[in-house]
Amino acid sequence: MDAKGFEDILLEFFLVIERIKPLSRAIRDIHILRGAVCRSSIFNSPGIYPHSIRKNLEKTRKARQDRKMREETSELSRSCPIAAAVVDAAPFSFTTTTTVISEPSLDAPLKIASSPPQPNDYFYFAYGSNLSHSQMCQRCVFNPAISAKPLAIARLDRWKWFICEAGYANVLPPDSLSNPSLEADDEVVYGVLYKMTPEDEDLLDRYEGVDRSAPPTPPDGPVGRHMRPREQGKGSYNKWYVPATVVKWLDESVNLEWDEAQELTVLVYVNEYKVKEGPPKQEYIRRMNRGIREAEALGFPADANWVERVIRRFIPNGPDAGLES
């Protein structure tokens, strides 16, 4: 028998050992036999080395693993096409020692990927261009059916609505939120209430330019942390949580859910830096008029003269208002 024939027989012997013995014993026997062969004079022949057997053994093992993987994937595709598509899309790697594919269980119940989105516990008070639920749908893209649905018309008593020097709508609170009854001002701001999901509120924070890295409000500040958790920082607006009075529910199911409560805590975006009146930006005039039209169709505001008396001081009316010539 020549050296090549002996090598083929030895290779087959190794493969038989792998099939009939546990992996640990097979590896031990392979090492023992390989050591005996290495000491044999037949390997003194030129061109024949122990590593050639290892290379052929690995090549044969890899070919068998490839064939087994194809067979298991084919079986998986018949029982679960979606799982098979995932397996086909993933590149196989044989650098690991073991590959396991779990067969889907027919008895296992189906699992829902995620729970339905839940809105926040508080409402969002829109007083500017977000009076338009169409704009809210464009901005709250995660759950527009929840976050962009108008739920009520409400008002902020003793607050002031105006266009600030930045060219956008802003509201100012009473001089003393801790005791508003001391104020003689009779200003009021009307708005539309929404109830956003946390994901959509995060998006709206970006639209409003909220500085998420702003420091917390000092504990001895004029306004408590429960109303104003953070400083405005470098942002365009800050988030306030203040009481608002509901004047009209647009969704009776929400009305019943809140036990017909007339005063609720709402989120309001306030620009604390821009407190002087100024002209509106041209593009903002168009968006404000759209918001006014859509809100008025819902019954906004309760005071029929409020829009003319307050908003129309800054926002001209008409189909071409805000269009540049």
- Read off the pLDDT of residues 243-266 as tens digits, 9 standing for 90 and up: 999 999 998 777 666 555 589 999
Does the annotation place 84 within a ligand binding site? no
CB 188 within 8 A of CB 247: no
Catalytic member of 7, 201, 208, 294: 208
The residue among 274 and 20 whose pLDDT is bigger is: 274
Of the listed ranges 1-15, 23-37, 170-184, the least confidently predicted one is 23-37
Q: What percent of the chain has pLDDT over 70?
A: 59
Does the annotation place 190 within a ligand binding site? no
Q: Would you call 283 a catalytic residue per the annotation?
A: no
Q: What is the mean pLDDT of residues 88-117?
A: 43
Q: What percent of the chain has pLDDT over 90?
A: 50
Residue 307 sits at the vertex; the CA angle it makes with 317 and 287, to the nearest 5 degrees, is 50
- Distance from the first to the final alpha carbon of the chain: 100
Does the annotation place 162 within a ligand binding site? no
Does the annotation place 295 within a ligand binding site? no
Count the neighbouring beta carbons within 10 Å of the beta carbon of residue 129.
Answer: 22
Give the burial class of 244: count Cβ atoms within 10 A of its Cβ; 0-12 exposed, 13-18 middle, 19 or more buried: buried
The candidate with the shortest Cα–Cα distance to 155, out of 202, 198, 123, 203, is: 123
Does the annotation place 126 within a ligand binding site? yes
**pLDDT for 205:** 98
- Looking at the predicted structure, is the pLDDT value of residue 306 above 80? yes
Confidence of residue 221 (pLDDT cuts 50, 70, 90): confident
Residue 192's DSSP bridge partners are 126, 153
